[in-house]
Amino acid sequence: MEFSAQQIADYLKGKVVGNPEIKVSNFSKIEEGVPGTLTFLSNPKYTEYIYTTQASIVLVNDTFEPRQELKPTLIKVPNSYDALASLLLLVESYKPKKSGISPLACVSEKAKLGENAYVGAYTCIEDGVVIGKNAQIYPQVYIGDNVRIGDNVTLYPGVKIYNDCVIGNNCMVHAGTVIGSDGFGFAPNAEGKYDKIPQIGIVVIEDDVEIGANTTIDRSTMGATIIRRGVKLDNLIQIAHNVEVGEDTVIAAQSGLAGSAKVGKHCMFGGQSGVVGHLTVADGTMLAAKCGVSNNIKEPNKAYHGFPHVESKTFQRAFVCFRNFPAIRNQILELEKEVAELKKKIEHN
């Protein structure tokens, strides 16, 4: 499917600079652009590529002014990254949806599937499951007893959802993710061994949540582990039992939240960050990669680095000192020598 620069600009409410009739049928990265594709410039670090790219159309911010002649046609928009996202969503919406139930799927007679549902081969749907309309359930998915799934949910291959868990509308769960596995609950006994504490709660995932591949979300000991509306979780994340993640929070890969941690709204966690159990993290908190939260964060909208977590500005000042420690050590050793020589002179005199 081809679109002209003018058609794209009209859709994005942007302005064409160049040939409005030029057409594209695919996307490309700006540094690897080829004719017939559309790309974008958002990060200033990539500005040099706009003068060499072979892409036919480039989305740019309204403020962009070229310093030399350009080959591609430009479409100026308020935010080129947001505009690209809109176009990608448009293209995605044109892709045909799978439909029908594979004869190799195992669907309980006591389960209820909404209209236009797709169920792939070797998927197992147990008793009492209720699934909304337009579900896309790919092969080898397991959905346990009494699970509730909303409308427009996509479960990619190998997703496992244990019994009684709840997933809202418009959610997407990527391959290999496990929802509702037992929380890590064990109690030491008199013999020095560990007795398992039954995990009888559930996982509740609200609307508009996306969960990356091979992430695990444990069911609660009692009550619910809750992922609030609009949360975005990357791949390989561990969410422990009784955790609550606030609305529109985003968490990058290999991060972990220990049991009963409560994370606020609109937080941003970098990769390999972590929160100790039973702590509260305020709304709008930002954690740099590998940051570890060891105490409650009570003030909202602050950024942190390091472990234990330190406010980013303080961490950066401290890191400058740390980086200079070898030179400081040498200065101290030189001073010690000079002091020792002065002492000898004083004693001699």
112-166 per-position pLDDT tens digit:
999 999 999 999 999 999 999 999 999 999 999 999 999 999 999 999 999 999 9
pLDDT digits (tens, 9 = 90+) for 202-226: 999 999 999 999 999 999 999 999 9
3-state secondary structure of 73: strand
Residues 182-197: tens digit of each pLDDT: 999 999 999 999 999 9
Tell me the mean pLDDT in the region 255-279: 97
Residues classed as catalytic:
241
Task: Tell me how far apart the alpha carbons of residues 222 and 199 are, in angstroms, rounded to a whole number.
Answer: 7
d(C-alpha 180, C-alpha 216), whole Å: 8
pTM, two decimal places: 0.86
* Per-residue pLDDT band at 63 (split at 50, 70, 90): very high
Residue 284 has pLDDT above 90, yes or no: yes
Q: 83-87, 88-92, 247-251 — which is least confidently predicted?
A: 88-92
Judged by DSSP in three states, 143 sits in strand
pLDDT value at residue 166: 98
Please say if the pLDDT value at position 314 is more than 90.
Answer: no
Residue 262: what pLDDT? Answer: 98
Q: Please report, as a single letter, which amino acid is at residue 219.
A: R
How large is the average pLDDT for residues 92-107?
92
**Distance from the first to the final alpha carbon of the chain:** 95
Alpha-carbon distances, residue 158 vs 155, 229, 231 (angstroms): 8, 24, 21
Query: What is the structure's pLDDT at 326?
Result: 87
Residue type, 230: G
Alpha carbon 325 to chain centroid, angstroms: 36
Q: What is the pLDDT of residues 28-42, one digit of tens each?
A: 999 999 999 999 999
| Main-chain dihedrals φ then ψ at residue 56, nearest 5 degrees | -80, -35
- Quick one: pLDDT at residue 7? 96
Q: Cα–Cα distances in Å, from 54 out to 20, 21, 58, 220, 334? A: 17, 17, 10, 53, 59
Peptide bond preceding 308 in cis form (omega within 30 of 0): yes
Task: Count helices and strands (H / E) in the chain.
Answer: 4, 40
Identity of the amino acid at 79 = N
The angle that helices 80-94 and 5-12 make with each other, rounded to 10 degrees, is: 110
What the block records as the tokens of 336 is: 């010690």
pLDDT at 313: 84
Across the range 324-333, mean pLDDT stands at 87
CB atoms within 10 A of CB 102: 16
Structure tokens at 128: 């009492």
Average pLDDT over residues 290-314: 93
At residue 94, what is the residue type?
Y
- Res. 349: pLDDT tops 80: no
User: Count of alpha carbons within 13 Å of 234, Cβ hemisphere only?
Assistant: 14
CB 194 within 8 A of CB 188: yes
What is the pLDDT at residue 43?
A: 94
Cα–Cα distances (Å) from 240 to 142, 143, 236, in that order, read 21, 20, 13
Summary mean pLDDT of the chain: 95
- What gap in Å lies between CA 123 and CA 186, rounded to an integer? 32
CB count in 10 Å sphere of residue 284: 18
> In terms of residues, how long is the chain?
349
